[in-house]
Amino acid sequence: MAASGGSCPAAMKATSQGAFQKENPLDFALPLIILQICLVVVVTRGLAYLLRPLRQPRVIAEIIGGILLGPSALGRSSKFLHNVFPPKSMTVLDTLANLGLLFFLFLVGLELDISAIRRTGKKALAIALAGISAPFALGIGTSFAFRATIVKGAPQAPFLVFMGVALSITAFPVLARILAELKLLTTDLGRMAMSAAAVNDVAAWILLALAVALSGSGSPIISLWVLLTAAGFVAAIFLFLRPALAWMARRSPEGEPVKELYICATLAIVLAAGFVTDTIGIHALFGAFLVGIAVPKDGPFAGVLIEKVEDLISGLFLPLYFVSSGLKTNVATIRGAKSWGLLVLVIVNACLGKIGGTVITSLLVKIPVREAVTLGFLMNTKGLVELIVLNIGKDRKVLNDEAFAIMVLMALFTTFITTPIVMAIYKPARPTAPYKRRTVDGGEADGELRVLACFHTNRNIPTLLNLVESSRGTGRGRLVMYAMHLVELSERSSAITLVQRARRNGMPFFNSGDKAEQMVVAFEAFQQLSSVRVRPMTAISDLDTIHRDVIDSATAKRAAIVVMPYHKMLQHDGTFQSLGSAYHAINKRVLREAPCSVAVLVDRGLGGHAQVSAKNVAFSVAALFFGGPDDREALAYATRMAEHPGVAVTLERFRPSRAQPDEDAAADEAAVEAFKSKVGMVKDGSVRFDERPAQSKAEVMEAINSLSMFSVFVVGRMPPTAPLVEKPDELGPVGSYLASPEFRTSASVLVVKRYDPATNPASKRYDPKARPPVATEEDALDELTGAAAVVPVAHSPMNHDIV
């Protein structure tokens, strides 16, 4: 409430005595800011959920949420605005919003690796420079139209620079999210876009500092002093502060907790740097951003800082900045043909400058037309930095309400159109070589067996390497292993750090630097000591769509079999703990949609915690054969393992408990006879055949329990037998028992599903009415819901490895 005599509103007290004391909590600062934060989080997260089907980045939901809570929508109700966002609360709201923004810019600086920018290729550098200069020039041209119409009193030089910067920005974190959604993050196009955007980001901050310095109300001499003092502060950061931060980073070795004193000191330095830059006159954000850049990126220190700060800032405080911007955005101020014409003009010039400059430069550096146009639209992405520029411009009286609203809508529109347009115009090249061999038992169509082996963590790697080494075969086409690290891209911005550090040779990145090096050595040593070719890959995507990366990569690499990790992880007591339903869903989707055979690997530590060298391999394999196409594919895999001199394979044949079609029965006999002929060829007894008369469930379980000393079990996913457990999962009736706690063993299990074109939506022989045999609870549920009949999905760009 305003005080009498036209003075400023009375300051709000912090806390109330409660509703029972007849005090309204909304008249006090703390309960009001709590309500505001909760409202903002609910609205922005709700919008983000609604926009997920459109594959829009979260920043779109946050900008729209801010506008909806402001005077453009809900704020049109004066009762809502004066109760929830009263003028007297704006100081507290803006202070918290800017504090959150300050630490968020510190995180952005932490994630920006200057050394990586220095290594940016000439193509990306040329694209970045063109993507800045062309829209900057058009922004200056647009500013004359604004000054002649709706911003007549604005200072000329600052307004020109602000408009140029606003049109030339590319939002680096938002671009990473869009690339991840479109499966482009680790492609050549994605790397080019990210490199150019990183250069653009640094240039935008330099230009913004210039704009802020020029926007002061003093003389040009004062602006010059501001710039010179800011340059001196930057030099001081890198000459004096960086060595101190490097000292703290060195005293935080891998595997040990970072001292709380170092975390506290760094965060205090962030605040102090913000105070200094605000005192200089170039905004507190620059100080925090510079400290983030100065923090060494090697070792665990930067990662721990991100973990400590990120969730609180990104989840609670940063959305306040969007609502603070939304409260300043009144779309109703855009009225009349003149204003709407200016909105169209600024959108056209923003797109023309950024897209046109990027496309022309891309064509000059020999990038194909389709990729060049895609790159242009990707570089036209706006986001948080755009809002920072516009808010500073409004606070400095460079932009009025109408110009501010027009520029916010421009940023919203250009970012919103990026995803649908890129999806429409960018069609990745299809594999030119024919995809013939889609099963292990597929003859020598390609002359080599291609295996796409996926893993979630470094714990899976030794077993995976030992399995592939055992399967390499001899005397036939060699084996090629595509090792794909499946990395979840969460909503957390630090996932972008992971993207930046993904190695150019495709090696997977792990959070720990030392472990990353160990895994690199493991892959390189395995390739040198074995006849297997290894091609590491990384898929970075959210868990709901990461199965598309696996499926598209299997198609691109013409894999004969995909090996997926089981969705449960072995614990120290020998039991399995689920990684979560999302990981379970990945396996189910790959099993349904893969363009080749699929195997699920239950890892119980085959060969121990290290990769066993080829000459020291000594594994015993039990292949359980009941019949059917899946068991025949499993037998083909076991037969290949039998060729390794260090692997002993025993085929245990069980007579099926269900009647089979004559065609299947004949194929089963042929497969078993082929294996028997191999037994006669091997003189050292390492290949054996045994036929079990077991028929009932109890007899089968007893027979399997007698084999518990083997190193590996290989079994088909859907054999024609009754389930051995009550609720079998994706491993099928036998595989589920082999992975259950009832079966006491240290053996790893490989459950194989043969590729069936009739049930695969990408196949020309796809039959929508075809169903796999119902043998698990999950498959029965899928039958009822129709989930087994997968609707064909548009081909999406795959994550390429770098050879």
- Report pLDDT digits (tens) over 626-653: 988 999 999 999 988 888 888 889 999 9
Contact (CB, 8 A) for 632 and 667 = yes
pLDDT at 522: 66
pLDDT at 492: 60
**618: enclosing H helix or E strand:** none
Distances in whole angstroms, Cα of residue 348 to Cα of each of 82, 393, 414, 471: 37, 21, 10, 58
Residue keyed to tokens 């010179």: 228
443 pLDDT band, cuts 50/70/90, is: low
Average pLDDT over residues 733-759: 89
SS3 766: coil
From 169, 151, 232, select the one nearest 396 (Cα to Cα).
151
Bridge pairing between strands 597-602 and 748-753: antiparallel
- Name residues whose C-beta falls within 8 Å of residue 565's C-beta, 6 or more positions apart in sequence: 454, 455, 456, 460, 600, 601, 603
Is the pLDDT score of 192 beyond 60?
yes
pLDDT tens digit sequence for 321-333: 999 999 999 998 9
pLDDT at 693: 72
Distances in whole angstroms, Cα of residue 668 to Cα of each of 653, 672, 680: 10, 6, 19
Rounded distance between C-alpha atoms, residue 409 and residue 47, angstroms: 17
Rounded distance between C-alpha atoms, residue 507 and residue 458, angstroms: 12
pLDDT at 42: 95
Burial class (CB in 10 A: 0-12, 13-18, 19+), 354: buried
Average pLDDT over residues 751-769: 75
Bridge pairing between strands 597-602 and 449-455: unpaired
Is the pLDDT score of 155 beyond 50?
yes
Range of lowest pLDDT (58-62, 487-491, 621-625) = 487-491
Average pLDDT over residues 524-534: 74
Is the pLDDT score of 657 beyond 80?
no
Rounded distance between C-alpha atoms, residue 287 and residue 99, angstroms: 12
Q: Which residue has the higher pLDDT, 766 or 624?
A: 624
**What single DSSP character describes residue 89?**
G
Long-range contacts of 67-71 (CB under 8 A, 24+ apart): 67/326, 67/329, 67/331, 67/408, 67/412, 68/43, 68/326, 69/39, 69/40, 69/43, 69/323, 69/326, 69/327, 70/323, 70/326, 70/327, 70/328, 70/329, 70/330, 71/327, 71/329, 71/330, 71/332
pLDDT tens digit sequence for 387-442: 999 999 898 888 899 999 999 999 999 999 999 999 899 877 665 667 788 898 86
Torsion (CA) 48, 54, 59, 61 in degrees, nearest 10:
-40
184 pLDDT band, cuts 50/70/90, is: confident
| Token pair for 625 | 């054969």
314 pLDDT band, cuts 50/70/90, is: confident
Burial class (CB in 10 A: 0-12, 13-18, 19+), 585: middle
Q: Which amino acid is at 161?
A: V
Phi then psi for 381, rounded to 5 degrees? -75, 130
Average pLDDT, the chain: 83
Three-state SS for 142-190 is HHHHHHHHCCCCCCHHHHHHHHHHHHHCCCHHHHHHHHHHCCCCCCHHH
From 490, 409, 419, 398, select the one nearest 155 (Cα to Cα).
398
- Name residues whose C-beta falls within 8 Å of residue 803's C-beta, 6 or more positions apart in sequence: 535
pLDDT at 3: 44
Residue keyed to tokens 């394979």: 649
Is the pLDDT score of 509 beyond 50?
no
Rounded distance between C-alpha atoms, residue 95 and residue 105, angstroms: 15
Rounded distance between C-alpha atoms, residue 604 and residue 600, angstroms: 13
- Name residues whose C-beta falls within 8 Å of residue 664's C-beta, 6 or more positions apart in sequence: 627, 628, 629
Rounded distance between C-alpha atoms, residue 406 and residue 409, angstroms: 5
pLDDT tens digit sequence for 564-593: 999 998 887 778 888 888 999 999 999 988
Range of lowest pLDDT (4-13, 303-312, 653-662) = 4-13
pLDDT at 512: 38
Q: 764-788 burial by CB neighbour count: b if 16+ within 10 A, else e? A: eebeeeeebbebbebbeebeeeeeb
Phi then psi for 102, rounded to 5 degrees? -60, -45
pLDDT at 788: 39
Is the pLDDT score of 232 beyond 90?
yes
Contact (CB, 8 A) for 506 and 560 = no
**What single DSSP character describes residue 25?**
G
Expressed in percent and rounded to 5, the helix, strand and coil fractions of the chain are 60, 10, 35
Average pLDDT over residues 729-745: 89
Q: 700-709 burial by CB neighbour count: b if 16+ within 10 A, else e? A: bbebbeebee
Radius of gyration of the chain (CA): 31
- Name residues whose C-beta falls within 8 Å of residue 694's C-beta, 6 or more positions apart in sequence: 654, 655, 700, 702, 703
Q: Roughly what angle, to the nearest 10 degrees, separates helices 336-364 and 122-149? A: 160
356 pLDDT band, cuts 50/70/90, is: very high
**What single DSSP character describes residue 9?**
B
From 526, 439, 524, 516, select the one nearest 485 (Cα to Cα).
516
Phi-psi region of 653 (alpha: psi -120 to 50; beta: other; left: phi over 0): beta
| Token pair for 311 | 């969730």
In percent, the amount of the chain with pLDDT more than 70 equals: 83
505 pLDDT band, cuts 50/70/90, is: very low
SS3 532: coil
Rounded distance between C-alpha atoms, residue 369 and residue 374, angstroms: 9
| Token pair for 88 | 């007297």
**742: enclosing H helix or E strand:** none
- Name residues whose C-beta falls within 8 Å of residue 662's C-beta, 6 or more positions apart in sequence: none
How many Cβ atoms are within 10 Å of 242's Cβ, its own excluded? 17
| Token pair for 170 | 């590319």
pTM for the complete prediction?
0.78
Average pLDDT over residues 594-608: 87
